[in-house]
A and B are shown apart, each in its own frame.
Chain A
């Protein structure tokens, strides 16, 4: 039973706007509204939306610019708006919580002055603890340009280690919520443009992924905008593999025009598309047939030093002679391995019975309770109707256990295996002849602090075995 802030009149109904803040527990109110409703800073409130939905938030004041005549709005982030089933321009009502003491003071410029005094007098160690609690690396780095003191605290390597530790490595690391809320972006790229079409195209958009799927949260590191692609690289590149926020890319300048880039890649780069840092790897001897690339980059963690922001990279090029599983068998269909919420999954997708339907199976590697040996458990066994459009499996959804991405004709579809529904997310204009070779999907996950790209070590890297 909430006590209305103002009885009868509709003073507590407020118009909603969106904020890019990723803090799910904050409602931002104009200062005059806070004062009108007698709310103090960080006052807890019930926010009521449509369909009887309600959620608990903390009120934070913002200064409304008086010069614009528009009615000041209540700002909520996307997640809270979804919870309340409310859109931009809709209205919510705010209610005090039962049992909360009557607010003592109203936020004023005096409070900000007090906080100013506090921030200027407090020691570096406490200030650094405060900065560790900023929502992401982007906002912390922005604050490093406030003054010399803030800059020296935030750019300190120990601070960055702690920030990564608190946001990415602590208790959350292995929980399902951690995987579910990781900001991600899926890039669907096609390789055939580079070697099948003879004409050279100077338009850089030509080499962009033809489809991108990304989570709302993945916009935060990019400042609310969509990411731009690898334009900053010294030459035109195509992605071979990805790991968290880094990609392994290869130059197109050296590739033979008749071969897909992944069979003859010699000039390779590791780059971070967000920070635009990159590193050229030592040249490798071109292999005749390459069936895959592996790319791993793990932070160096030790008990003695804790987690550090230094990372170790491993790039593995798998020649055909070394591969034991042939992932493309006509009768078996294409097998595909992927990670969903941190669990390894395997899919099989093939056309059956004279093209009447597609068989689609998904297994998950599960640990049994009694013994420690994990085993593959069949989680989905589906028959999908054939239409005139050919279908191929593209990728698992990185955080959604029921969703996969399929290619249907020239459309990329998101398919919900539970509800059996297709949703188009992208398409390409011209024909792709061999989608199982020419289309490749890469997932990018954004950690709280972008992975740095250091210089190459001075010691030479052992040569690859030929063959």
Chain B
């Protein structure tokens, strides 16, 4: 990302340090898309270096890439931008493998990036929805650990949902 032009002089830069020591220099407007960072900035305004010991550099980079895209697209308040954001989001989650998805979700959750958590959980939900209970158990290798009769009890209690 090229730095902003000379006209925007007030942009404050923050240093974010990941667990593996990798640091990222980002504009405040980008980093504050994350609720946790927004809180830190508001509380201790003078500190420019923020350490994030729970997030790996690789995933912090991806989270920040998402933040940049959204912060930039939000500045021009065009209606078409909503669509652009949606498209970009779709591409962003499209080819994530399980490992990345998991760590990204953890990182987003830890940094309170509510919108990003929404996006990633939506992606996982889309992978499980539409499947029957038996299909879920089979595809995701989940064993039914109910005691005899317990599952029947759940079905009976909410019989309308199983009819």
- Does B94 lie within 8 Å of A450, measured CB to CB? no
From the candidates A116, A133, A135, A151, name the one contacting B140 in the complex (CB within 8 A): A116
A115 within 8 Å of B by Cβ?
A: yes
Complex: chain B residue closest to A116, CB-CB: B140
- Does A146 lie within 8 Å of B142, measured CB to CB? yes
- Does A147 lie within 8 Å of B143, measured CB to CB? yes
User: Could you give, for residues 88-108 of chain A, a 1 whenever the CB lies within 8 Å of some chain B CB and a 0 otherwise?
Assistant: 000000000000110111000
- Does B158 lie within 8 Å of A141, measured CB to CB? yes
From the candidates B94, B129, B137, name the one contacting A23 in the complex (CB within 8 A): B129
Assembled-state Cα–Cα distance A139/B130 (Å):
8
Interface of A is mostly: mixed
B127 within 8 Å of A by Cβ?
A: yes
CB-CB under 8 A for A134 and B94, given A116-B142, A148-B145: no
Residues in A with CB closer than 8 Å to B143 are: 147
Residues in A with CB closer than 8 Å to B122 are: 133
- Does A112 lie within 8 Å of B139, measured CB to CB? yes
Residues in A with CB closer than 8 Å to B154 are: 144-145, 151, 155
Residues in B with CB closer than 8 Å to A114 are: 97-99
CB-CB under 8 A for A116 and B141, given A21-B130, A133-B125: yes
User: Could you give, for residues 281-298 of chain A, a 1 whenever the CB lies within 8 Å of some chain B CB and a 0 otherwise?
Assistant: 000000000000000000
Assembled-state Cα–Cα distance A131/B126 (Å):
10
User: Could you give, for residues 140-163 of chain B, a 1 whenever the CB lies within 8 Å of some chain A CB and a 0 otherwise?
Assistant: 111111100011001100111111
Between A116, A139, A146, the greatest number of chain B beta carbons within 10 A of the residue's beta carbon is seen for A146
- Does A42 lie within 8 Å of B94, measured CB to CB? yes
A41 within 8 Å of B by Cβ?
A: yes
CB-CB under 8 A for A115 and B125, given A142-B161, A146-B137, A151-B154: no
B95 within 8 Å of A by Cβ?
A: yes
A280 within 8 Å of B by Cβ?
A: no
Closest CB of chain A to B152's CB: distance in Å?
9
- Does B160 lie within 8 Å of A450, measured CB to CB? yes
B69 within 8 Å of A by Cβ?
A: no
B91 within 8 Å of A by Cβ?
A: yes
Assembled-state Cα–Cα distance A119/B160 (Å):
27
Complex: chain B residue closest to A138, CB-CB: B161
Interface of B is mostly: helix
- Does A148 lie within 8 Å of B146, measured CB to CB? yes
| 8 A Cβ contacts from A129-177 to B | 129-135, 137-139, 141-148, 150-151, 155
The stretch of B17-25, B48-56, B101-109 that contacts the partner chain: B101-109
- Does A276 lie within 8 Å of B95, measured CB to CB? no
CB-CB under 8 A for A42 and B98, given A119-B140, A147-B143: no
Assembled-state Cα–Cα distance A113/B155 (Å):
27
- Does B99 lie within 8 Å of A139, measured CB to CB? no
A406 within 8 Å of B by Cβ?
A: no
- Does A133 lie within 8 Å of B121, measured CB to CB? yes
Residues in B with CB closer than 8 Å to A44 are: 90, 94
Residues in B with CB closer than 8 Å to A342 are: none
- Does B109 lie within 8 Å of A130, measured CB to CB? no
Residues in B with CB closer than 8 Å to A26 are: 126, 130
Assembled-state Cα–Cα distance A105/B98 (Å):
12
- Does B139 lie within 8 Å of A147, measured CB to CB? no
Assembled-state Cα–Cα distance A117/B124 (Å):
13
- A-B complex: 10 closest residue pairs judged by Cβ atoms: A114-B98, A133-B125, A141-B161, A116-B140, A129-B121, A116-B141, A141-B158, A112-B139, A138-B161, A130-B121
Residues on B close to A: CB < 8 A?
A: 90-91, 93-95, 97-99, 101-102, 105-106, 109, 117, 121-130, 132-133, 136-137, 139-146, 150-151, 154-155, 158-163
Q: 7 more A-B contacts (CB under 8 A) besides A21-B130, A134-B128?
A: A19-B130, A114-B97, A115-B98, A129-B121, A134-B125, A134-B129, A144-B158
